[in-house]
Amino acid sequence: MKFKQIAGAVAVAGALCVAGGMPGQAATLDDVKAAGTLKCGINTGLPGFAYTDDAGKWTGFDVAYCRALAAAVLGDANKVTFVNLTGKTRFPALAAGEIDVLSRNTTWTLSRDVDLGFTFIGVNYYDGQGFIGRKALGVKSAKELGGASVCIQTGTTTELNLADFFRINKIKYEPVPIETNAEARAAYDAERCDVYTTDASGLAATRTTFPKPGDHMVFPEIISKEPLGPLVRQGDDQWADIARWTLNALITAEELGVTQGNVAKMAEGTDNPEINRMLGKEGSMGKMLGLDANWAARAIAAEGNYAEMFERYIGADSPLGLGRGLNALYKDGGILYSPPFR
Amino acid sequence: MTGQPFHRSRAEMLQERPAPITSVGVIGWMRANLFSTWLNVALTLSALALLALTVPPLIDWTFLDATFAGSAGKDCTGEGACWAWLDQRIHQFVYGFYPAEAYWRANLAVVLLVPAVGYLLFANLPYARYGRWFSLAYPVIAAFLLVGGLGLDVVRTDQFGGFVLNLVAGITGIVLSLPIGILLALGRRSRMPIVRTFSVAFIEFIRGVPLITLLFVAIILLPIFLPREVSLDQLVRVMVIITLFASAYMAEVIRGGLQAIPQGQYEAGQAMGLGYWQSMRLIVLPQALKISIPGIVNTFIGLFKDTTLVIIIGLFDILGQARLLQTNQDWLGKVDYETFLLAALFFFVICFGMSRYSINLEKRLDTTRR
């Protein structure tokens, strides 16, 4: 009896500690402004999306979003504290309030959105999982991979997609689980597995690194939807709105032809009312978000609009050489579509 | 019968002659060590064959065929290693993201480490009396230099990285885990129930849980339990966990040494009227630590290698920097082995150095009568 009482007391005290320590509904915007820096969770290294330059500065497609958001909120694209997170630490870090926003090629899924208590604020890259294999295998399609060994990165949605795909098609396979992308690539190169699977964006880059890229082929099947996007904690709608509309502003800027080069001039006023509303010349959109009028202009000035960011870090002329594909604007045949600034 | 008496012994000394060349010098050494039995001959020959097969290609790859100039992976077209990243990236492997204008501070801290450690490790250095005090003050000096404050610009700990981060985390752990381990070992053998229970519980808990689990608890669970205003520095959290982890293992190593000391030594201390701490300090511990040296250094080496786990708090030690460069699209797929080789070389130098020093220490302190 006594033991039960003590145990109960301990449990209650523990629960109180958790409740007290939980990041409440406090305004993230105020916290960020008070800290004077945006804590942005990024990858520990992913080609094109998050990497360091020779000066040790973080750059990349996911990183660029952090800088744009910092410019919108704090007025300075360099007021970002980057927190490097692994696949395992990213969600706890966001839940515990160690970061304000997570921009780490994270797939938007129902369970992450609902069960983990996060709010995905949009999609900045539509990806999908594919396979790369040796041409010498004589296989033309992923559906012919019966009995093949597959190198795969653990702890990611790709692992689950793979299981689903083979179950649906009723074929057997032998998974070769590997911790990081670089090791998986090396394992495939060393012929420890017949095929290697990861997001198609990664496959294209991987293929270029092999000594003879022509010996390998990316199979036509894309077996999953991988909408990658930034996310914030659930429960602070204002902050989610700011994060969401910063991303929308970057996409809309491409649609309306606002670039890093001309944004300063356009902010002085144009003939297009939507540009004027977005850049703060007309209306009071910044005020609605709890920011000043020039928030979107600063976000675009930081790293350019969506197209400029895409081309600089992952586009056709970058070492990754990815085409726009699904990530083109809706009017160019893609599915990138921002709600209007009205 | 007269004549020359028959001498069974020689009249004059023979000249000294060198020992047969088959038992001295290079040949003698080889006969004794490499070709003494047929098994040894076979082992020697196969080892030589293995070396002949592996070493020349390795040297070709590492140096002769290697590419040393270039600005991106595509410049490395040769068959050999790609070292073109070295001159742009080596500072990140050494300092991480430490601000370039403060490199001198990290350099000074590492340079000062040499006398600080030297005075602790070697007895026969000049000015030893002052040196010891310097060694004691060194952690404060190094922390001031590395972190800043009091006039120096503050460097956040998440800017630490590379070689310097391994050194900082490793040396902090090594310096703190030995005294904590000694206290825990003594605590476990103590007659005071609270002290003993605490020590046993601590040691068994830490040894029963993998290091990575403890690190995740410190990094992920701790912030949930602490109020939001209280934020412990991430690097400090990791260093505390690594130190405590090594301390628990250290305690068991030292307890092994303590148990090897005959009861008579403890009783001798008591008979001379020494108190508990005096007899421990003067009689028991010097002997116990001496026989624990191999185990202690073992724990040190393990601890030093565990410093690579800082990657899970998003800090990039030398191994993390290697992986980071591998994911840079300019170098993608070109530098996988080269960067790991550099990290491996660094760990080998440090860990081999520790192991040689421990052998040296064992010889110096050897008082057994053979």
Homologous superfamily of domain range A132-224: Periplasmic binding protein-like II (3.40.190.10)
- Cα separation, B102 vs B218, in Å, equals 30
Alpha carbons B323 and B308: distance in angstroms, whole number? 12
Q: Does A48 touch chain B (CB under 8 A)?
A: yes
A20 pLDDT band, cuts 50/70/90, is: very low
Half-sphere exposure for B30 (CA within 13 Å, toward CB): 8
> Which residues does chain A have within 8 Å of residue B314's beta carbon, measured at their own beta carbons?
44, 83-86, 89
CB of B297 within 8 A of CB of B354?
Answer: yes
Rounded average pLDDT over A254-263: 95
Residues of chain A with CATH 3.40.190.10: 2-126+228-332, 132-224
Say yes or no: A83 contacts chain B, CB-CB below 8 A: yes
pLDDT at B228 (0 to 100): 66
Residues in chain A closer than 8 A to B316 (CB atoms): 44, 84
Cβ pair A202, A188 in contact under 8 A: no
Q: What is the pLDDT of residue A13?
A: 46
Q: Which residues of B touch A19 (CB under 8 A)?
A: none
Q: Given A21, A54, A185, which is nearest B226 (Cβ)?
A: A21
Residue A78 forms contact with B (CB below 8 Å): no
Looking at residue A288, its pLDDT comes to 93
DSSP assignment of B22-78: TTSHHHHHHHHHTSSSHHHHHHHHHHHHHHHHHHHHHHIIIIIT-B---SSGGG--S
d(CA B157, CA B163): 14
- Could you tell me the mean pLDDT of each successive run of 10 residues in chain B, 370 residues long? 64 82 80 86 94 93 87 82 89 89 90 86 79 85 86 84 91 91 95 95 95 86 73 84 94 95 91 92 91 92 92 88 87 86 94 91 74
Q: What would the mean pLDDT of A98-119 be, rounded to a whole number?
A: 92
pLDDT digits 0-9 by tens, A155-208: 677 888 888 899 998 989 898 888 777 778 888 888 899 999 988 887 877 787
Q: Is the pLDDT at A114 greater than 70, yes or no?
A: yes
pLDDT band at A14 (very low <50, low <70, confident <90, very high): very low
Q: Order the strands of the A216-218 sheet from edge to edge.
A: A173-178, A148-153, A195-199, A129-134, A216-218
Residues B177 and B246 sit within 8 Å (Cβ to Cβ): yes
DSSP string, A162-174: HHHHHHHTT--EE
Minimal CA separation from A264 to chain B, in Å: 31
Where does the pLDDT of residue A336 fall: very low under 50, low under 70, confident under 90, or very high at 90 and above?
A: very high
Question: B69 exposed, middle or buried (CB, 10 Å; 0-12, 13-18, 19+)?
Answer: exposed
Q: Of A176, A169, A164, A161, give the one whose Cα is nearest residue A144.
A: A169
Alpha carbon distance A183, A180 (integer Å): 5
pLDDT attached to residue B143:
87
Phi and psi for B124 in degrees, rounded to 5? -105, 35
* Cα atoms found within 13 Å of the Cα of residue B5, Cβ hemisphere only: 5
pLDDT of A338 over the 80 cut: yes
Angstrom distances, CA of residue A342 to CA of A18, A73, A275, A277, A286:
41, 20, 10, 7, 12
Which pLDDT does position A23 carry in this prediction? 44
Percent of chain A exceeding pLDDT 70 equals 92
Give the closest-approach CA distance of B320 to chain A in angstroms. Answer: 9
Q: Which of B223, B228, B332 sits opposite A47 (nearest CB)?
A: B332
Q: Please state, rounded to an integer, the average pLDDT across all residues of chain A.
A: 87
**In degrees, to the nearest 5, what angle opens at C-alpha A147 toward C-alphas A143 and A148?**
75
pLDDT over threshold 70, residue A134 = yes
Q: Pick the residue of B89, B165, B228 with the most A CBs within 10 A to test the interface with A by mutation.
A: B228
What is the chain B residue with the closest CA to A189?
B333
Query: What token pair was written down for B19?
Result: 């020992």
Selected for mutation to probe chain B from A32, A44, A62 (highest B CB count within 10 Å) is A44
Q: Which residues from chain B sit within 8 angstroms of residue A206, using beta carbons? A: 332-333
Tokens 């007290």 sit on residue: A20
Q: Which residue of chain B comes nearest to A319, CA vs CA?
A: B329
Domains of chain B plus CATH, in order, are: 94-98+155-369 (1.10.3720.10)
pLDDT above 60 for A102: yes
- For helices B162-188 and B318-326, what crossing angle results, to 10°? 140
Among candidate residues A185, A217, A183, the one with its CA nearest the CA of residue A202: A185
Contacts of A135 (CB under 8 A, 6+ apart): A214, A215, A216, A217
Q: Do A89 and B314 touch (CB under 8 A)?
A: yes
Whether A185 has its CB under 8 Å from any CB of chain B: the answer is yes
Q: For a pLDDT cut of 90, what percent of chain A falls above it?
A: 53
Task: Say yes or no: B314 contacts chain A, CB-CB below 8 A.
Answer: yes
**Would you place residue A19 in the very low, low, confident or very high pLDDT band (cuts 50, 70, 90)?**
very low
pLDDT of residue A7: 47
Closest chain B residue by Cα to residue A81? B158
| CB contact set of B9 (below 8 Å; sequence gap of 6+) | none
Neighboring chain A residues of B75 at a CB cutoff of 8 Å: none
B153 vs chain A: nearest CA distance in angstroms? Answer: 17
Topology of domain A2-126+228-332, per CATH? D-Maltodextrin-Binding Protein; domain 2 (3.40.190)
Residues of B in contact with A52 (CB under 8 A): 92, 97, 324, 328
CB contacts < 8 Å between A and B, how many? 96
Q: How far apart are alpha carbons B156 and A160 in whole angstroms? A: 38
> What one-letter code names the amino acid at A121?
I
Name residue B52's beta-bridge partners: none
**Beta strands A129-134 and A148-153, pairing class:** unpaired
Which band of pLDDT confidence, cut at 50, 70 and 90, is reported for residue A298?
very high
A32 touches chain B (CB under 8 A): no
Cβ separation A318–B329 shorter than 8 A: yes
Q: Please tell me which of the candidates B92, B311, B332 has its beta carbon nearest to residue A56.
A: B92
pLDDT at A320: 82
For residue A246, CA distances in Å to A85, A126, B281 come to 22, 18, 66
- pLDDT band at A16; cut points 50, 70, 90: very low
pTM for this model (two decimals): 0.82
